[in-house]
Amino acid sequence: MNKPITFTQEYRIDTTMINFNQQLSLEMLLGLLEDTATEHASILGLDYNSMLEKGFFWVLIQQRLRLWQNPMWNETITLKTWVTKMTGIYATREYELFLGGKKIGECSLTCMILDSKTHRPKRMNKKTDQRLTHEIPQLDFKAEKIRLPDNLQKVRSLSVNISDLDMNNHVNNVRYTRWVLDTLSMDYHRNYSIVDYQINFSGETFLNDKIDCFCH
């Protein structure tokens, strides 16, 4: 059976997905992107359990999302995704986001393969390298390393709780987004919308780790 290079998934935005502005929250949107990638990976034979049986799993290390319209409560968002590169210890994936056939956003991300026992980078075998990909990126940008500005100010500290952990027993990537959004004031959330979101992950965090949040 041919494995689809491009995968499309639809989601109706219900009350559990929205913020106080009745918009699809950024945290939930990132979760939907993750879910779409998981479904596509499963079709390609690269689902979580299959990977774990081979002794490794994927982690997100870089992501950039551009959004020029906020999906609203009761609307249906369509996510289209494909893999652009899968070689060595890295894989890159891209997305297009649609509302009613209108393109409202794009996303690019890079993942790394870790050994399930050591949590160290692990190279893919040649068979995995030959999976179907677009090979050439379709978007005009990519997720890249973020250069932090000077004079960052500490806003708050927190501890990792059980509810922050995912099935890899580390903090799930979308949880960091919640922490960041919660450092911003209510006035900010009422008056501004996030149109360009970028995040890098340089390491894992685990239960009871202490986290400091900084703002510029």
**Whole-number pLDDT of residue 76:** 98
Domain, as residue range, for 89: 6-215
Buried b / exposed e across 6-41, counting CB within 10 Å, b at 16+? Answer: ebebebebeeebbeeeebbbbbbbbbbbbebbebbb
Average pLDDT over residues 119-139: 71
**Whole-number pLDDT of residue 5:** 85
CATH value at residue 146: 3.10.129.10
1 belongs to a structural domain: no
How many structural domains is the chain composed of? 1
Rounded to two decimals, the pTM is: 0.91
**Whole-number pLDDT of residue 53:** 87
